[in-house]
Each structure stands twice: as C-alpha cells, then as structure tokens.
Amino acid sequence: MLFLAPRAAGRRRAPTAPAAATLLAALCGGAACTAFQPDPLTPPGTSVGAPNDGWLVEGAPVPDRAAGLRAYRDADRRHGSRRTVEIVTETAAWLAARHEGAVLHVGDLSTVSGGKIPGHSSHRSGRDVDLLFFTLRPDGTPATSARFHRFGADGLAVGVSPPVRLDLERNWALIEHLLEEYPQDVQWIFVSWGVKTALISWALAVGARPATVERALSVLHQPSDSLPHDDHFHVRFYCAPEDLPWGCADRPPIWPWVRRRFDRTAHAPADDDVLRELALGSL
C-alpha cells in the first residue's frame, strides 16, 4: 500500500519501530512528495506515529449510525485505529443503554490513511475524535440534533435564546465511562476551562468517585495552542498495545495510573514500576 503525502510530512520523524516493522519514506518523482509505505504485514486499523505527526493503516470506519451514535461529519474523515473505533462505539452504546435517548454525535477522526486533515493540526493517526456535548432544550429535555454551541462555566450556551444548557449528567457520564472503563487508553479530553469547571462541579455534587474526579482533573484540559474547545470534546487516546510494535508513538504525559509502554506490551514491569504502583495502591 502506498500513501502519498506532502514533502513536509515526510520530513517529520519516522516512527521508530523494531525489526518487525519497516516504514519507508522516499522522494517520489520530481514533485515535492514522499511515499509512505508501511510494512505490508501491518494489520488494518493500526495507528502509526504521533497524533500530530502520524499515519493510519487502513483506518477502521465509524458508521453513520450505530446504537446511541450519529455521525455529523463526512465518512472520509471518520476513520480511526481499531481501538479508537471500538471505544467510541462501545461508549455510545453504553450511554444509550443507561440514559434514555442519549445520542453521541461523533465528528472528525482521521482519513482512512491518516496524515494531515484540513482544519486540524492533529487527527493524523486515528487516535483523535471530536464529540459534541450533550445538551438540554429550554424545556429541560435532552436535545437530539447535532448543534455546535459555545458554553461557559455557568453551563449555558453563549448568546443563544431561548437558553440551551449543557446536559451535565450525560456529559459527566461520558467522561466517567471513558475514565473508568478505559483508563489505559484516554490521554486527553480537550475542553475549555469553563466547561471543565461545570463538569467537575457536577461530579463533586453528585458524589462521583474521588479517583475518577482526580483523573478528570488531569485529563480534562484546555489546550494552549488551539481553540478553547468550548463547543465540543476532543478525545485523544494512547497507542493501543498492539499498535506499538508497528511504530505507534505516544507523547507525554503518561499519567501515573497508566502503565508504561513496556508494561502495556505485556513485558514484566521493572522494579521501580512495581514500587510506584504499590505507592499508588493499584497493586
């Protein structure tokens, strides 16, 4: 399989990989382009490289509709790693089963072969996904249509009349499920400080598990180098263990509750990791 990419992308650091994987980057023709050729044995749905500097090998598609899930972007921008698509579809179904009528609106992931995608600096390796907030209509019933509204810390959409509110119960259920069911996978949930404040306040008010709130305090984050994300979540996942031998690359941070890379590939943990996990009470 051959992927053509802008030359600039080809100059970026090639994913480091063991002998099992060989990624070739070579100049092609007289034009400024490069050829990206994954190892022919790379399984479909493998994330290669980093979210801002990576690729995807035969990305897995997110369907237009599934249990509790509706897509609001074009299908060619809705491919992810196998693990990403598995988590997104399971999470949508889980929410729909527990919150009547809940519909998770899924936006951009990556193109089928990854690389640069218009409108994003990341979303290149199938490990980023945009999710719309759950919202409430003025009468307090859950909204079902996909709408972008910007929200403040008061949980109200900015400049919208009649008022539209964040559905804090369902949005927190989404965060809680991701952090409790997939703690080894979720690296970031980018969202504005205002929405983070509203969500954490809700979690504390309803007696959420302290360990989950502690994780949320780290993972929920307003990025400093992009839009504030006050109108949607952007979830970023770590490499799946099975993608690591093929050149998938995580960037810091690795949260304290996430086992390190060699742990995640089933190697025996080093002594310092055992001590760290003992200290954290997770063994």
Chain contacts with Zn ion (rule: CB under 5 A): 130, 234
Q: Which two tokens stand for residue 98?
A: 């527990």
Beta carbon nearer to Zn ion, 196 or 234:
234
CB of 84 to Zn ion, least distance (A): 12
CB of 130 to Zn ion, least distance (A): 4
**Which residue number places its CB atom closest to Zn ion?**
234
CB of 240 to Zn ion, least distance (A): 19
Distance CA 248, CA 42 (A): 11
CB of 201 to Zn ion, least distance (A): 24
Q: Which two tokens stand for residue 178?
A: 């991701």
DSSP state of 179: H
Q: Which two tokens stand for residue 187?
A: 């690296």
For residue 161, what are the CA distances in angstroms to 132, 153, 164? Answer: 19, 17, 7
Distance CA 84, CA 45 (A): 9
Distance CA 12, CA 64 (A): 33
Beta carbon nearer to Zn ion, 102 or 131:
131
CB of 78 to Zn ion, least distance (A): 12
CB of 233 to Zn ion, least distance (A): 8
Beta carbon nearer to Zn ion, 190 or 246:
190
Distance CA 146, CA 143 (A): 8
Beta carbon nearer to Zn ion, 21 or 92:
92
Residue 125 contacts residue 81 (beta carbons within 8 Å) = yes
Element containing residue 210 per DSSP (H, E): helix 210-219
Beta carbon nearer to Zn ion, 33 or 146:
146
Beta carbon nearer to Zn ion, 42 or 192:
192
For every residue of 106-138, DSSP letters joined together read E---B-TTBS--TT-SS--SS-EEEEEPPEE-T
Element containing residue 234 per DSSP (H, E): strand 232-237
Distance CA 51, CA 71 (A): 21
Residue type at 228 in one-letter notation:
P
CB of 132 to Zn ion, least distance (A): 11
Beta carbon nearer to Zn ion, 106 or 208:
106
